[in-house]
Each structure stands twice: as structure tokens, then as C-alpha cells.
Amino acid sequence: VEQKAWLLGPPAQVIDAVKSVEAQYPGLDQFMVHWAEGIPPKEFKEQLRWFARDVMPAFQTR
């Protein structure tokens, strides 16, 4: 978390973190979401739904 290898927090914070990565890597057009070991599949799917609903719309115009 301290190295910012994990993006976590409320939607606005995650959006800001992704935008920060974009600024560091101009032309970035893909983003990888990884399943953290130990998280039950049901919980991971809920997190993906949250990401799709609350974070991804901020990047639809790209």
C-alpha cells in the first residue's frame, strides 16, 4: 500500500490514483485488476462490480 502498488479507498481516491498513474505513463491505455489471494470469489466479484460502477465511468471518454 505504501508503495502505491495497490489502489484502494473510496471511488474518488481510486480515480485520483489511476489518473496519477496515467500522468506518469502517457499513452497508457490498459489497466490490470488482479485478484488478491485469500479473497473469496464472491467478494472479488463484488469489488469488480463496484469498480465498474463507480470508477470506470470516469475514464469512458478516453
Domain assignment present for residue 45? The answer is yes
For the packed helices 11-24 and 41-54, what is the interaxial angle rounded to 10 degrees?
70
Decide if 37 contacts 24 (C-beta within 8 A): no
The boundaries of the domain holding residue 36 are 11-59
Domain assignment present for residue 5? The answer is no
CA dist 35 and 39 (Å) reads: 8
Number of domains in the chain: 1
Domain assignment present for residue 36? The answer is yes
pLDDT value, residue 50 = 94
pLDDT value, residue 62 = 64
pLDDT value, residue 60 = 85
pLDDT value, residue 7 = 83
What are the per-10-residue average pLDDT scores of the chain (62 residues)? 74 94 88 84 93 94 70
For the entire predicted model, the pTM comes to 0.78
Domain assignment present for residue 25? The answer is yes
